Amino acid sequence: MATKEQVAAFFKFDPSDEPMSTDDQWIIPDREDVVVQVCGHNAFSVNEYLGEDEGSCVRDHGLYADLDRAMRKALEVAGIDPDNDPVPGAAAPSP
């Protein structure tokens, strides 16, 4: 099972540019349609944006009190296996 650090390596923190109206989020750089939204202290929502732009439609995949669990769910929704799939941008392992 992938460690918390291995799971987190798939994500990039995306701070809100308007904190009074939007939340910070963790994004998967190659799959920005699946995000972990920071909803407050120990509250993380996994959202999947459907359609052409982020405002079209959102499928909610649950609210989590633990960031690691939310990230694991987001990877599952995105079809990424942290135990077997390479981290985008990481150096390939030596043969």
Q: Which domain holds residue 62?
A: 4-78
Q: Which residue has the tokens 């460690």?
A: 3
Domain contains 73: yes
Is 41 a residue whose pLDDT tops 90? no
pTM: 0.87
Domain contains 53: yes
> What would the pLDDT profile of 2-38 be if each residue is shown by its tens digit?
999 999 999 999 999 998 889 999 999 988 899 999 9
Domain contains 90: no
Q: Contact 92/86 with Cβ under 8 angstroms?
A: yes
Predicted confidence band at 88 (pLDDT cuts at 50, 70, 90)?
confident
Short-list 81, 74, 65, CA closest to 2: 81
Domain contains 68: yes
Predicted confidence band at 54 (pLDDT cuts at 50, 70, 90)?
low
Task: Say how many domains are in the chain.
Answer: 1
